[in-house]
Amino acid sequence: MALNALQKQEVDSLSETFPTRRPVVESLEEKLYTPQKVLDHGFVRIIDYMGDDTAIVQAARVSYGKGTKQTSQDRGLIRYLMRHRHSTPFEMCEIKFHIKLPIFIARQWIRHRTANVNEYSARYSILSKEFYMPEPAQLGTQSKSNNQGRANVLQGAEAARVFELLKEDAERCYSHYEEMLNETADGNVIDENRQGLARELARMNLTMNMYTEWYWKIDLHNLFHFLSLRADSHAQYEIRAYADVMLEMVKEWVPYAYEAFEEYRLHGAHLSRTGIEIVSRALKGEKITQENSGLTPREWRELAALLPLEN
């Protein structure tokens, strides 16, 4: 999780404070540039942000300055906007993160195409010898009911063998990577009598659990969408670990917006037309079963997971 020398130098150079007329969040200011540990070598740190809860209500009202409405009215408006999916005011807030993460999670993460991204270039620089090793509790077998999920945790010799393979493959591939480059990550030439392969080619032999880094800037509306999917209990553990850390940062940044997001999106649920009809029928005392519900067995199971319906 440690920052490298250049990153530490960057933090030191930005430690000076500057006067500003724009809204700032004091608790977030204290966290700027400070890495929050994720997984074994990863981190998330806030580089910059723009706007706060006030920016959301000002955009909704197209007004200027603080104090135009009471705090309770601001909170109520933000909840209304979230409840009725009026997304534009939330787009007035933006935040920029520096994230260090395993490459296989970065490839999943980049599916969210509503952010600005600049990734560490392995064509230009040499990747550090850091690779993700999961905790024993995360070595799950393939789920038979979910092609994207895990089932039982591997135990004993089988788990030990997996760890051995992961470490052995990552270290061997990185050793070959340095050999092909004829250079180490700290810039030392391995053999003065030969030339190394181009960095853009040598990198292709690395394993997917190597760490990469990027700057990731996104507006609050799209960040909420990302977090609603990646902080969900069904999301892959590794990306969920990052989302959980980011949730805490957003909670400090825009507490009213976070409260509304948590209420209506993160822990809320969307009901289909048929789902609403089922709730209405149940409230009238009708006994609802999958057979008379109008839902497929899968839809019924999903609804039953939200509501106390008969299985």
- Between the CA of residue 137 and those of 150, 152, 236, what are the distances in Å? 11, 9, 13
User: What is the reported pTM?
Assistant: 0.89
Highest mean pLDDT: which range of 17-26, 59-68, 205-214: 205-214
Catalytic residues: 230
Mean pLDDT of the chain, nearest integer: 90
Q: Is 258 exposed, middle or buried (0-12, 13-18, 19+ CB in 10 A)?
A: buried
Nearest to 57 by CA among 46, 69, 47: 69
Rounded to the nearest 10°, the torsion over CA 86, 87, 88, 90 is 120
Q: What is the mean pLDDT of residues 4-25?
A: 73
pLDDT above 60: residue 66? no
The CATH number of the structural domain formed by 1-127+210-268 is 3.30.1360.170
Q: What is the mean pLDDT of residues 155-163?
A: 92
Residue ranges covered by each domain of the chain: 1-127+210-268, 273-306
Return phi, psi of residue 83, to 5°: -65, -35
Confidence of residue 15 (pLDDT cuts 50, 70, 90): low
Q: What is the pLDDT of residues 231-272, one digit of tens each?
A: 998 899 999 999 999 999 999 999 999 999 999 999 998 899
DSSP letter for 233, please.
Answer: T
Q: What is the pLDDT of residues 86-105, one digit of tens each?
A: 999 999 999 999 999 999 99
Q: What is the mean pLDDT of residues 145-166?
A: 86
